[in-house]
Chain A
Amino acid sequence: MDRVAAVQEIFRQVFDKDAMTVSPSTRRADVSDWDSVAHVKLILTLEDEFQVRFSEDEISSVDTVGDLLKAIDNHVRADT
């Protein structure tokens, strides 16, 4: 499973929507349930899935799914 698909699967889990689709351009504002609690659940689940720890700045500056993918990439690359 590629990284976008893996992130989409996590969105489906967190938002409890089996058919949910996201792309790098999906914005927080596009997902009505993406509030602060859902954001923290997303971040914690992504951290567990990809074995990374996001910084405060990364967590607070996320506006799109692409921002999350970029942050994951940065950490995964830094660890390899």
Chain B
Amino acid sequence: MNCQPFELHHIGILVPDIAKAVESYSSRFGYRVNGERVHDPVQTAHIQLMSLADSSPQVELVAPDGPRSKLANALKKGAGLNHLCYLTSDIEEDCRRLREGGMLLLHAPVPAKAFSNRRIAWLMGRDGIPVELLEYEL
């Protein structure tokens, strides 16, 4: 399947404790926090974006907001790489196209607090890595 190349926006890393992970990514790799830490009630997660000085994709540290969080089960299996997030200029069309290509929708487009209510959608394919689509900033 040929398509316009996506732009990788961030790599989602699941962590048990955001503050400790921020310290770790800062001291080990030189990441700096990018914006405020956000609590997203739809994702049931605390979220902190971090970036390097260059234009590399950001990392998004995500932590469950409690034992009933959607991420609680995933964290029980272990912290680490959680998802890849790509930018999209047409979230419905890209969801449709990726579904046609064999991925399944985990979550239909919904506004995301961490991204000023730009919409995100979630899909997953047979490689088992969740993919987040994020609308470009207008």
Contact B124 A40 (CB under 8 A): yes
Interface of A, secondary structure class, is helix
One of A35, A43, A48, A56 near B73 (C-beta < 8 A):
A35
Q: How large is the interface on B (under 10, 10 to 19, 20 to 34, 35 or more residues)?
A: 10 to 19
A42 CB, min distance to chain B CBs, angstroms: 10
Q: How large is the interface on A (under 10, 10 to 19, 20 to 34, 35 or more residues)?
A: 10 to 19
* 20 sampled A-B residue pairs with Cβ under 8 A: A32-B73, A33-B73, A33-B76, A35-B70, A36-B70, A36-B106, A36-B107, A37-B74, A37-B106, A37-B124, A37-B130, A38-B73, A40-B106, A40-B124, A41-B124, A43-B104, A44-B124, A44-B125, A48-B126, A59-B104
Give the B-binding residues of A (Cβ under 8 A).
32-33, 35-38, 40-41, 43-44, 48, 56, 59
